[in-house]
Chain A
Amino acid sequence: DQQVKQNSPSLSVQEGRISILNCDYTNSMFDYFLWYKKYPAEGPTFLISISSIKDKNEDGRFTVFLNKSAKHLSLHIVPSQPGDSAVYFCAANSGYALNFGKGTSLLVTP
Chain B
Amino acid sequence: DADVTQTPRNRITKTGKRIMLECSQTKGHDRMYWYRQDPGLGLRLIYYSFDVKDINKGEISDGYSVSRQAQAKFSLSLESAIPNQTALYFCATSDSGQGGSNQPQHFGDGTRLSIL
Contact = CB atoms under 8 A, between A and B. Distances in A.
Contact of B109 (A4, A34, A42): A42
A100 interface: yes
A102 B42 contact: yes
Given A100-B44, A103-B42, A32 B101 contact: yes
Contacts of A102: 40-42
B48 A45 contact: no
Contacts, number: 55
A44 to B, nearest CB: 5
A89 B108 contact: no
A42 B109 CA distance: 4
B33 interface: yes
Contact of B101 (A44, A45, A96, A103): A96
Nearest to B38: A102
B43 A98 contact: yes
Main secondary structure of the interface of B (DSSP, over half): strand
A31 interface: yes
Nearest to B108: A43
A42 B108 CA distance: 8
Nearest to B47: A97
A43 B90 contact: yes
B19 to A, nearest CB: 19
A71 to B, nearest CB: 17
A19 interface: no
B93 to A, nearest CB: 11
List of 4 A-B pairs having minimum Cβ-Cβ separation, nearest first: A100-B42, A43-B107, A46-B104, A32-B102
Interface of B: 4, 33, 35, 40-45, 48, 50, 56, 58, 90, 92, 101-102, 104-110
